[in-house]
A and B are shown apart, each in its own frame.
Chain A
Amino acid sequence: MARDWRELFIVDGAEPLPAATVEEPERRIGRFRRLRDSLRKTRQALQSEIQATLFEDLSDETWERLEEALIYADVGASTTAKVVGQLEQEAAENRLTGGQELSDRLVELLTGIAQTGDDTIDLRAHPTVILVAGVNGTGKTTTLGKLAWHLSRELGRSVVLAAGDTFRAAAVEQLEQWAQRADVAFVKGGPGADSASVAFDAIAAARRDGADVLLIDTAGRLHTQDNLMAELAKVRRVIAKQIPEAPHETLLTVDATTGQNGLRQAKAFSEAIDVSGLVLTKLDGTAKGGIALAIASELGIPVKLIGVGEQLEDLRPFDAAEFARALVT
């Protein structure tokens, strides 16, 4: 059973989500087909490894090939070693016999790792402040545009989008176009404004308008740029000064094509702004997004959303079981 938006978002009991989010079974199949398609190659890779084990005894080579399949998915050496080691041990203790059991257990292990921490987004505060950060080119602005559209069109929330990326040329214009598409309110700073002041103004605007959700964009930055990371921490502090519990959600966008550097990104951003969840973007390519497993395993940060395309509806709640299953079956 796939996870849907109602399982991702927590809202006030008094106001159930509109029926629009209840999906027809066929529609849901369509939605997840794309995710499965995007994970097809990994699946094929892993499937052939697992099927091979159906026909031969478990040998060192089997484990090596499974290891390679996970490495190929960017899961990383240490998380791969953990999974394969566990599986190998259980097989050695004769707890697993045959390829099917092996493959089921593998899915179970992967799901267990992917499912970490609180993987919901609580929308009960008014406004709920969601801050989005990430390395350049990972899809922050696109993610925000899609999220605004979903919250507004499908959940009927009143949304304010804040253009906190005051650095990159035309980033404000890009977000403004998304705001128009999603038909939500838009806040930008005057010329020369910094992200923190935009965040400050946006909170004032969201309060004034009684908005349900405030989404704040930030400029892309490499996690190694200390001064830019300090600037980001300041944005967070400025938000918290206005609303003590805010930002209620701090999302980090991670490009699914990212390799092992993703771990360092997640670590550095977490230290600066206490990341509460990942958005795993660009899963519609051939990249496997296995780095999200490594991040979940080593840092305990859950994936909350995935991006599977450029269309407005191509943002989905992350489903650990689905993700793991799509990897191996």
Chain B
Amino acid sequence: MFDSLAEKLQATLADVRGRGTLTEDDINAAMREIRLALLEADVNFKVVKSFTNAVKERALGADIIGKLNPGQQVVKIVSDELTDLMGGAAGDLAFSPRPPTIVLVAGLQGSGKTTAVAKLARYLREEHHSSVAVAACDVYRPAAVDQLIKVGAQAGADVYEQGTDRNPVDIAKWAADRARTEGKDVLIVDTSGRLHVDQELMTELANIKKAIGPTDVLLVVDAMTGQDAVNVAEQFAEVVDFDGVVMTKLDGDARGGAALSVKAVTGKPILFASTGEKLDQFERFHPDRMAQRILGMGDVMTLIEKAQGSYDEQQAAELERKLRKQEFSLDDFLDQMRQIRKLGPLQSLLGMIPGMGKEMRGVKIDEKEFDRLQAIILSMTPQERRHPELIKGSRRLRIAKGSGTNVQAVKQLIKQFDQMRKVMRQVSQGRMPDLGALMRQSR
């Protein structure tokens, strides 16, 4: 179940290597795997059907070109088609030329609307330097208004609320007027969760829209939604003709096929991704990356971007020089460790590396382990850090005591460091080390 589609396709088409073209049987075998993978990812089965047909058409008779083996070729076709279907570049909100820009947020119960409203408010404040107000129109769920008051304040937005006694349409209208009077750039309107088949509440939503004339209507969709995502999206599209989607709970391990279904069925772009409980865990949605996630191919782009964001070019050049001259010391090791940790929790980083998925499956990274390693290195003298081979009995004991660890841990660290130096020497000599073997060894 956890094997990535790319791996499966490689295996399915392994014996085709050497033949010139893919036969229909090869393709059919591959399509079965694709179908299962997409269904497992909760892509709507109708969407799966039309998708596999499109892939089949392109794959049939396709010459095997260049360096790609048949498996890779099909993977590429699948990936291209999927990226096409998800839509190319990331979309954005429309902003009104005459503020306030009004954003109406709707969705099913429990999809994460209120949290998304607060996150969007924070995002617009930070990224667009907008003054933001949020309106509390969920008068049905107990304490929903209290929740928005709290998270809205955390997000630095003004919270417009009138308790739960007034009609949501009136509250929305009142809030829109107030945002205008107070000269806000953006007003985000939170609504209560509603079922797409609840006519009364859907009519109410349409009335809210009519009353405030929003610049954008956003539908909030839980990334874990199954086949029903299509029904939900179609109904909301019909009633309020939303402009874009916020996918929530993408920090879980759901493949998020719902994103593909919603896009395929309604044609509406997915604009934002909500990826955690903290208010800043909210970002523009990248359709191409989602395509990779659905296929289980890793999220290389995100990783590269994160690395670029926090890595200093000069430091990199210096490191390269040291590697070449084999001057890499424990100080540099410490530096590296700190650099990597700046990227975020290691667990999530590893998931983004293609091919790492299988090797690292089920491996739990103990972040505290890094604190211990750091403590050990910091307990060494500068001399010892440059020449770890100096560290013998009494030095080892001193370091263990100083770092609050034991002699075993110190020994282990030096051993790992030696292995790492060896690998780095290989890399700098142009040989690719076996990363998987290294991972297993060091555990």
Decide if A and B are genuine partners.
Answer: yes
Q: Could you tell me which A residues sit within 8 Å of B by CB distance?
A: 41, 68, 71-74, 76-77, 135-139, 145, 167-171, 173-174, 176-178, 222-224, 226, 255, 257-262, 264-265, 282, 284-288, 290-291, 310
Q: Could you tell me which B residues sit within 8 Å of A by CB distance?
A: 36, 39-42, 45, 108-112, 140-144, 146-147, 149-151, 154, 195-197, 222, 224-229, 231-232, 249, 251-255, 257-258, 277, 364
Which 4 residue pairs are nearest across A and B when measured between Cβ atoms? A259-B226, A137-B110, A259-B42, A170-B147
Query: With A169-B150, A259-B258 as given contacts, are A224 and B109 in contact (CB-CB < 8 Å)?
Result: no
B110 touching A173, Cβ below 8 Å: no
A72 touching B224, Cβ below 8 Å: no
Query: With A261-B42, A264-B253 as given contacts, are A173 and B143 in contact (CB-CB < 8 Å)?
Result: yes
In the complex, 20 of the A-B residue pairs with CB atoms within 8 angstroms, ordered by the A residue number, are A72-B227, A74-B226, A74-B227, A169-B150, A170-B143, A170-B144, A170-B150, A174-B142, A174-B143, A174-B144, A255-B224, A257-B228, A257-B232, A259-B257, A260-B39, A260-B226, A261-B253, A282-B108, A286-B232, A291-B226
What chain A residues lie within 8 Å of B146 (beta carbons)?
169-170, 173-174
A224 touching B40, Cβ below 8 Å: no
A287 touching B226, Cβ below 8 Å: yes
What chain A residues lie within 8 Å of B36 (beta carbons)?
77
A286 touching B225, Cβ below 8 Å: no
Contact of A285 among B40, B140, B151, B228 (CB under 8 A): B228
Contact of A222 among B140, B196, B251 (CB under 8 A): B251
Closest chain-A Cβ to B58's Cβ sits at a distance in Å of 23
How far does the alpha carbon of A96 sit from the alpha carbon of B146 in the complex, in Å? 58
- B interface SS class: loop
19 more contacts with CB within 8 A, not counting A167-B277, A222-B249, are: A76-B39, A77-B36, A77-B40, A136-B110, A137-B109, A174-B141, A174-B146, A177-B143, A258-B224, A258-B226, A259-B225, A259-B258, A260-B41, A260-B42, A282-B108, A284-B195, A285-B232, A286-B228, A288-B228
Give A281's nearest chain B residue, CB to CB.
B110
A72 touching B150, Cβ below 8 Å: no
What chain A residues lie within 8 Å of B232 (beta carbons)?
257, 285-286
How far does the alpha carbon of A288 sit from the alpha carbon of B232 in the complex, in Å? 13
Contact of B252 among A72, A135, A169 (CB under 8 A): A135
B228 touching A74, Cβ below 8 Å: yes
How far does the alpha carbon of A284 sit from the alpha carbon of B108 in the complex, in Å? 12
What chain B residues lie within 8 Å of A176 (beta carbons)?
143
Closest chain-B Cβ to A230's Cβ sits at a distance in Å of 11
What chain B residues lie within 8 Å of A177 (beta carbons)?
142-143
Query: With A170-B146, A259-B257, A285-B108 as given contacts, are A226 and B249 in contact (CB-CB < 8 Å)?
Result: no
What chain A residues lie within 8 Å of B150 (beta carbons)?
169-170
Closest chain-B Cβ to A231's Cβ sits at a distance in Å of 13
How far does the alpha carbon of A226 sit from the alpha carbon of B348 in the complex, in Å? 12
Closest chain-B Cβ to A267's Cβ sits at a distance in Å of 11
What chain B residues lie within 8 Å of A264 (beta carbons)?
253
How far does the alpha carbon of A28 sit from the alpha carbon of B385 in the complex, in Å? 77
Closest chain-B Cβ to A36's Cβ sits at a distance in Å of 14
B254 touching A259, Cβ below 8 Å: yes
Closest chain-A Cβ to B203's Cβ sits at a distance in Å of 17
Closest chain-A Cβ to B315's Cβ sits at a distance in Å of 31
What chain B residues lie within 8 Å of A138 (beta carbons)?
110
Query: With A73-B227, A261-B254 as given contacts, are A310 and B140 in contact (CB-CB < 8 Å)?
Result: yes
A262 touching B252, Cβ below 8 Å: no
B39 touching A71, Cβ below 8 Å: yes
B41 touching A136, Cβ below 8 Å: no
Query: With A170-B144, A173-B146 as given contacts, are A224 and B111 in contact (CB-CB < 8 Å)?
Result: no
How far does the alpha carbon of A137 sit from the alpha carbon of B252 in the complex, in Å? 13
- A interface SS class: loop
Contact of B108 among A68, A135, A145, A257 (CB under 8 A): A257
Closest chain-A Cβ to B24's Cβ sits at a distance in Å of 17
Contact of B112 among A136, A173, A257, A259 (CB under 8 A): A136
B110 touching A224, Cβ below 8 Å: no
Closest chain-B Cβ to A243's Cβ sits at a distance in Å of 29
Closest chain-A Cβ to B249's Cβ sits at a distance in Å of 7
A285 touching B110, Cβ below 8 Å: no
How far does the alpha carbon of A294 sit from the alpha carbon of B108 in the complex, in Å? 23
B197 touching A286, Cβ below 8 Å: yes
How far does the alpha carbon of A137 sit from the alpha carbon of B364 in the complex, in Å? 26
What chain B residues lie within 8 Å of A290 (beta carbons)?
226
Give A71's nearest chain B residue, CB to CB.
B45
How far does the alpha carbon of A73 sit from the alpha carbon of B228 in the complex, in Å? 8
How far does the alpha carbon of A282 sit from the alpha carbon of B226 in the complex, in Å? 13
What chain A residues lie within 8 Å of B110 (beta carbons)?
136-139, 255, 282
How far does the alpha carbon of A174 sit from the alpha carbon of B253 in the complex, in Å? 28
B109 touching A139, Cβ below 8 Å: yes
How far does the alpha carbon of A285 sit from the alpha carbon of B110 in the complex, in Å? 13
Contact of B227 among A71, A169, A226, A310 (CB under 8 A): A71
B111 touching A286, Cβ below 8 Å: no
B45 touching A68, Cβ below 8 Å: yes
Give A68's nearest chain B residue, CB to CB.
B45
What chain B residues lie within 8 Å of A71 (beta carbons)?
39, 45, 227
Give A287's nearest chain B residue, CB to CB.
B228
B39 touching A77, Cβ below 8 Å: yes
Give B145's nearest chain A residue, CB to CB.
A170
Closest chain-B Cβ to A110's Cβ sits at a distance in Å of 17
What chain B residues lie within 8 Å of A222 (beta carbons)?
249, 251-252
B251 touching A224, Cβ below 8 Å: yes
B109 touching A261, Cβ below 8 Å: no
A286 touching B196, Cβ below 8 Å: yes
How far does the alpha carbon of A167 sit from the alpha carbon of B149 in the complex, in Å? 15
What chain A residues lie within 8 Å of B42 (beta carbons)?
74, 259-261
How far does the alpha carbon of A262 sit from the alpha carbon of B255 in the complex, in Å? 12
What chain B residues lie within 8 Å of A260 (beta carbons)?
39-42, 226, 255
How far does the alpha carbon of A223 sit from the alpha carbon of B232 in the complex, in Å? 25
How far does the alpha carbon of A3 sit from the alpha carbon of B20 in the complex, in Å? 62
What chain B residues lie within 8 Å of A41 (beta carbons)?
231
Contact of A262 among B112, B224, B249 (CB under 8 A): B224
How far does the alpha carbon of A184 sit from the alpha carbon of B410 in the complex, in Å? 58
A258 touching B112, Cβ below 8 Å: no
Residue of B41, B108, B228, B249 ringed by the most chain A CB atoms within 10 A = B228
What chain B residues lie within 8 Å of A171 (beta carbons)?
143, 147
B112 touching A137, Cβ below 8 Å: yes
B224 touching A135, Cβ below 8 Å: yes
Give A73's nearest chain B residue, CB to CB.
B227
What chain A residues lie within 8 Å of B258 (beta carbons)?
259
A226 touching B364, Cβ below 8 Å: yes
